[in-house]
Chains A and B, each alone.
Chain A
């Protein structure tokens, strides 16, 4: 080692280092705050839900139906309602949404796409009240009652179809983006090997876009599970509902049950258990969507073809 080389000072200026440390702390603070807020929400949800569970007679959680103001908190009623309506919604939205996405991304001429895509995005923004009204006044008499003449005006089927239509543009738009993002070179490789369009779509574009398509379906499903207005309007059962597996009967989803509890009624805020049941259902809903996201995450990682 040569000692006569001039010593170089590589320690940075102290004020600058201090400034950088301060900026770092600022962003750390922002990150921590947002996590804290989420934790607080979940915590208060869990707390209220716990106090509900500890106060209420546990047998009332498995009852004839969901009538919170009469201390009948049959959880399976609203969970089943939620699952049934979401299922119907996805049965409607998956083929419609993916079909529209495939058409837009693979078949439509650029000019057609230029005006179809914005229409789709406008449709995605239609307020759910409008669709609730549509489900009640059009879907119910024209589709549901034709499928089953015994169906009433209010039914889970009408609500499910309404929610399905509501989430279709979302599914279509997100999965179309995913398919369009598949590099053109992959399509060319497929056509170059003599593949037909349908083959290219199903064997190349679809698998390559799988994670995005999956995401669109999960998004659609979460939206369907969380949808309140359409269900509250078209499925009937505002005050409460009996346990029901027949989709042509009225029913309630978890969110619709919560809204029904929360709107306008002064009974809600009282000491009655009904108020706290709201938190319990909320917590359950949170856990459901959380599981859904975890499952989909794992699934997507398995099937996706990275390009």
Chain B
């Protein structure tokens, strides 16, 4: 059952049963049935189901609250952009979607995030299962100190991939617009690549496992305009099969590729505590052309106009 979802990246058709998250319970895998949620018709670019239902999410690092209560719905087969000033908690929120914050000792997450109806912070959920379905590209490129080939093959190997690895490596690198540059040096260390190439390698590595959702934290921050364009094309192509959440500082990029945009800001308390807050979440069209909040407009126009 684990394999099934890896080889079928396409989400369930509307009305079809949602994939279950196998969870650990006393060493045996049991299933928590997914509840399909249908969204009412809205001004949605698509009429997809929500893939993430975030409700009452708060994130703390120790006693410092990094993100104030956030509620939002992320839809399937869409690109959702998270924008906002530096330090407003975009990375923090993004990392909640695949339980990456579990790895930070001081981090604490409150509230629920339902993935296809299953609370990924539920007691019985195994974060490993979550991360197999929800892949991530990090803000800083972090290739393994292995060959280019082994970097791409790492994820499929640990997931028990049985197909032709060479083909998969080539396909992943091609989609990430890196194949032509590295085809002759697949056995060389990934560390010999430039920063931008490493970034694309990390993207290729993430899509090689065919996740259901792709979380991308400023994936184009160290890319030139041409590579950026290729990655944007890739995202639009991927959204047929996957759902994508992207953090970006590039307003044009958010406007170009995303279907929906969430704008976060930082509230500074008298105590100096800087807590991120979701100001507005709407279709990208609305956010960029007629935002409802003054703060959003100021940010957009300040950077954009």
Binding site for B on A (CB under 8 A): 109-110, 183-196, 199, 203-204, 207-208, 305-307
Contacts and interface: CB of A to CB of B under 8 A. Distances in A.
B142 A188 contact: yes
Given A185-B142, A189-B144, A195-B158, 20 more contacts: A183-B142, A189-B143, A189-B202, A189-B205, A190-B144, A191-B131, A192-B131, A192-B206, A193-B131, A193-B154, A193-B158, A194-B131, A194-B135, A195-B128, A195-B154, A199-B158, A203-B154, A204-B144, A305-B145, A306-B145
Contacts of B202: 189
Interface in B126-151: 127-129, 131-133, 135-136, 138, 140, 142-146
Interface in B187-204: 189, 191, 202
Given A185-B142, A208-B145, A194 B105 contact: no
User: Which among B100, B129, B131, B159 has the greatest number of chain A C-beta atoms within 10 A?
Assistant: B131
B111 interface: no
Contact of A191 (B103, B140, B145): B103
B206 A193 contact: yes
A305 B146 contact: yes
Nearest to B157: A203
A195 B191 CA distance: 21
Nearest to B155: A193
Contacts of A183: 142
Interface string B89-110: 0000000001010010100000
Contacts of A187: 103
A190 B136 contact: no
Contacts of A190: 144, 154
Contact of A306 (B131, B138, B155, B189): B189
B209 interface: yes
A110 B103 CA distance: 12
User: Which among A110, A199, A305 has the greatest number of chain B C-beta atoms within 10 A?
Assistant: A305
A186 B144 contact: yes
A193 B135 contact: yes
B191 A193 contact: no
Contacts of A199: 158
Nearest to B202: A189
B146 to A, nearest CB: 6
A185 B258 CA distance: 27
A110 B128 contact: no
A305 B138 CA distance: 21
A188 B103 CA distance: 8
Nearest to A111: B105
Contacts of A188: 100, 103, 138, 142
A302 to B, nearest CB: 14
B158 A203 contact: yes
Given A185-B138, A188-B138, A189-B202, A307 B191 contact: yes
A193 B136 CA distance: 7
Contacts of B158: 193-196, 199, 203
Given A185-B142, A194-B158, A306 B191 contact: yes
B146 A110 contact: no
Given A189-B143, A189-B144, A307-B191, A196 B128 contact: yes
Given A193-B205, A193-B206, A194-B132, A307 B145 contact: yes
User: Which among B132, B145, B155, B159 has the greatest number of chain A C-beta atoms within 10 A?
Assistant: B145
User: Which among A185, A192, A195, A306 has the greatest number of chain B C-beta atoms within 10 A?
Assistant: A192
Nearest to B132: A194
B66 to A, nearest CB: 17
A192 B128 contact: no
A188 B100 CA distance: 8
Nearest to A197: B128
A186 B142 contact: yes
A109 B105 CA distance: 9
A189 B138 contact: yes
Contacts of A203: 154, 158
Nearest to A193: B155
A191 B100 contact: yes
User: Which among A191, A196, A307 has the greatest number of chain B C-beta atoms within 10 A?
Assistant: A191
A305 to B, nearest CB: 4
